């Protein structure tokens, strides 16, 4: 889309242009707004007709069909933004495959999914559906997985923003890029915007450099703008290091929920182990034993374990030239070489953080 459409020409210039076209004098502010709409409509008509449409034609058409024209332009713009931001569709099976006992699934269902889907009931009881959320917890515990699953179960777009994407034009431009991204996000409908590694852009301003501070400040400006917009957009930020985030961001009013994502219980591990086992060539695997042997394993650790087992089975069959079945013994052979990511210390730290920072 041409930048000329997004540019903000001076009200005086717009007023004189509109006067030139229509012969009518308007208040400069009103003219500026109208002028922007005329330009947008000229662009839209030209796109649709495949030829350059004159200003006068666009102006007449806009005034005749104002509401429809504005809606159509927004739809066009939204499509552009979705492509630009690499929006993805996620199937609802991701949500269904998470064990009901795995925290924070039930919490997310109650605080996020239901208020967003049961709109009338929310309104009736004065429940405000959340718009801004933080997930925190040790690496590999499933934060990203949960965000994708939320987009899937809501049937909303999933848009991932990595700090590295905001840094493409150099660190000085992070704030400006964040501004642009959030402005685009505000125009979307039914989208989950996910900012991963949030501490990279929202670190504490005390410890931060001048540039970091300007980014956090930009974020503090953007959150209320997003929350005041009536569209269906959910901003989710994830971090492994909640302690590093700027305290100003964590104050009530900025993020609606701050949700811990921690280790798996036996049931949670069983569900994930079953899913991975179904992809292997197995025979007589004692699931209960493997559940016991994988205490403190994160979903990421379980995924790694299965990669190792799969590779092992593949090599065995390749070397021997006969069917190799993964059994309990295969796991007993491979598991001792693996260390779970969660240690007593990380679990203790996480529990402390959960008490200090959670807001659900
Ligand atoms: N409940 C789950 N069921 C199955 N796989 C999961 C689950 N949670 C996470 N995973 C997988 O484990 C890996 C790590 O999860 P991820 O969401 O990236 O963790 P985090 O974002 O907390 O670092 C990913 O490959 C993800 O697909
Ligand atoms: Mg992640």
**pLDDT tens-digit profile of 35-70?**
888 998 999 999 889 999 998 899 889 988 888 988
Are residues 109 and 227 located together in one domain of the fold?
yes
Domain stops at, among 262, 296, 325: 262
Q: Whose CA is nearest to atom 8 of ligand 1?
A: 142
Please name the residue whose Cα sits nearest to atom 15 of ligand 1.
142
pLDDT for 3 equals: 44
| Neighbour-count burial of 202, counting CB atoms closer than 10 A to its CB (0-12 exposed, 13-18 middle, 19+ buried) | buried
What pLDDT sits at residue 280? 94
Average pLDDT score over residue span 59-87: 89
Q: What residue's CA is closest to ligand 1, atom 24?
A: 300
125 & 270 share domain: no
Cα of 329 from ligand 1 centre, angstroms? 26
Distance CA 48, CA 69 (A): 12
First to last CA, the chain: 40
Q: What values do phi and psi take at 233, rounded to 5?
A: -135, 135
Ligand 1 atom closest to Cα of residue 271: 3
For a ligand 1 pocket test, name from 96, 101, 145 the mutation site with the most ligand atoms within 8 angstroms of its C-beta. 145
pTM of the full structure: 0.85
> Region 141-146: what's the mean pLDDT?
96
Q: Say if 184 falls within a structural domain.
A: yes
Which residue CA neighbors atom 26 of ligand 1 most closely?
145
User: 251 and 152 in one domain?
Assistant: yes
User: Among all ligands shown, which has an atom nearest to the Cα of 137?
Assistant: 1
Same domain, yes or no: 176 and 221: yes
pLDDT band at 4 (very low <50, low <70, confident <90, very high): very low
Task: Round to whole Å and give the CA distance between 238 and 104.
Answer: 14
Q: What is the distance in A from the centroid of ligand 2 to the CA of 83?
A: 22
Residues 145 and 235 in one domain: yes
Pocket of ligand 1 (CB under 6 A): 97-98, 102, 139-145, 272, 275, 299-300, 303
Per the domain annotation, does 354 fall within a domain?
A: no
Domain end marker among 78, 110, 134: 78
- Model confidence at 2, pLDDT cuts 50, 70, 90, reads very low
Calculate how far, in angstroms, residue 49's C-alpha sits from the geometric centre of ligand 2: 44
Number of domains comprising the chain: 3
Q: For 297-321, how does the pLDDT look when each residue is reduced to its tens digit (9 = 90+)?
A: 999 999 999 999 999 999 999 999 9
- Do 240 and 271 share a domain, yes or no? no
Say how far apart CA 305 and CA 153 lie, in whole Å: 28
Tally the residues of the chain. 360
For residue range 150-196, list pLDDT tens digits in order: 999 999 999 999 888 888 888 888 888 999 999 999 889 999 999 99
Question: What token pair was written down for 124?
Answer: 């009736």
Tell me what pLDDT residue 277 has.
94
CA 51 to each of CA 42, 60, 134, 210, 302: distance values in angstroms, whole numbers, following the listed order: 10, 17, 47, 48, 57
The pLDDT, as a whole number, for residue 1 is 44
Residue ending a domain, choose from 262, 293, 321: 262
State in Å: Cα 279 to ligand 1 middle: 17
Chain centroid to CA 140: 17
State whether 132 and 255 are in the same domain. Answer: yes
What's the CATH number where 175 sits?
3.40.50.300
Q: Do residue 122 and residue 205 come from a single domain?
A: yes
- Those residues whose C-beta lies under 8 Å from the C-beta of residue 55, and which sit 6 or more positions away, are 21, 38, 42
- C-alpha 86/C-alpha 118 separation (Å) is 28
237 three-class SS? strand
**Rounded to the nearest whole angstrom, what is the distance from the C-alpha of residue 238 to the centroid of ligand 1?**
13
Domain-embedded: residue 353: no
- Looking at the domain assignment, is residue 146 inside a domain? yes
Write out the two tokens for 81.
């933004």
Ligand 1 pocket, mutate which of 149, 242, 299, 306 (most atoms under 8 A from CB): 299
Question: Are residues 120 and 192 both part of a single domain?
Answer: yes
314 or 23: whose pLDDT is higher? 314
Which CATH number fits the domain that encloses residue 314? 1.10.8.60
If asked whether residues 289 and 149 sit together in one domain, one would say: no
Question: Would you say residue 304 lies in a domain?
Answer: yes
Instruction: Write the CA distances from 241 to 93, 194, 342, integer angstroms.
Output: 29, 16, 15
Higher pLDDT, 24 or 173: 173
294, part of any domain:
yes
* pLDDT for res 200: 82
pLDDT for the residue 168: 85
What range does the domain containing 160 cover?
A: 93-262
Q: Could you report the per-residue pLDDT of 217-256, keeping only the tens digit for each? A: 888 899 999 988 888 999 999 999 999 888 888 888 889 9
Whether residue 183 is found in the same domain as residue 274:
no
Residues 48 and 67 occupy one common structural domain:
yes
Residue 359 is assigned to a structural domain of this protein: no
- Under 8 Å between Cβ of 199 and 241: yes
C-alpha distances (whole Å) from 35 to each of 19, 28, 64, 95 are: 11, 10, 15, 46
Atom of ligand 1 nearest to the CA of 264: 1
In a domain, 348, yes or no: no
């Amino acid at each position: 889309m041409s930048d000329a459409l997004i540019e903000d020409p001076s009200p005086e210039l717009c007023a004189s242009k509109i006067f030139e076209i229509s012969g009518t004098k308007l208040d400069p502010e009103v003219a500026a707004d109208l002028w922007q709409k005329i330009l947008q409509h000229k662009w839209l008509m030209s796109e649709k007709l495949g030829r350059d449409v004159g200003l006068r034609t666009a102006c007449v058409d806009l005034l005749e069909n104002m509401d429809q024209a504005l809606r159509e332009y927004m739809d066009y713009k939204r499509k552009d933004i979705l492509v630009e931001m690499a929006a993805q569709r996620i199937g609802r099976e991701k949500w269904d495959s998470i064990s009901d006992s795995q925290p924070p699934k039930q919490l997310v269902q109650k605080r996020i999914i239901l208020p967003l889907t049961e709109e009338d009931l929310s309104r009736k009881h004065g429940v405000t559906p959340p718009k801004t959320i933080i997930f925190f917890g040790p690496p590999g515990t499933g934060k990203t997985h949960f965000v994708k699953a939320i987009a899937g179960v809501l049937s909303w777009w999933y848009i991932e923003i990595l700090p590295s994407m905001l840094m493409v034009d150099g660190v000085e431009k992070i704030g400006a890029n964040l501004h642009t991204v959030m402005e685009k996000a505000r125009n979307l409908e039914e989208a989950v915007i996910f900012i991963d590694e949030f501490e990279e852009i929202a670190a504490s301003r005390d410890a931060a450099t001048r540039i970091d501070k300007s980014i956090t400040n930009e974020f503090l400006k953007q959150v209320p703008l997003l929350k005041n917009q009536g569209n269906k957009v959910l901003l989710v930020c994830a971090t492994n290091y909640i302690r590093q985030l700027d305290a100003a961001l964590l104050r009530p009013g900025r993020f609606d929920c701050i949700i811990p994502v921690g280790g798996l219980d036996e049931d949670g591990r069983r569900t994930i182990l079953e899913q991975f086992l179904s992809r292997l060539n197995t025979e007589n695997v004692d699931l209960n034993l493997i559940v016991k042997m994988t205490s403190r394993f994160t979903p990421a650790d379980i995924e790694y374990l299965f990669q190792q087992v799969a590779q092992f089975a593949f090599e065995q069959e390749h070397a021997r030239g006969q069917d190799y079945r993964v059994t309990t013994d295969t796991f007993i052979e491979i598991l001792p070489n693996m260390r779970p990511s969660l240690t007593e210390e990380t679990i203790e730290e996480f529990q402390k953080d959960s008490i200090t920072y959670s807001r659900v």
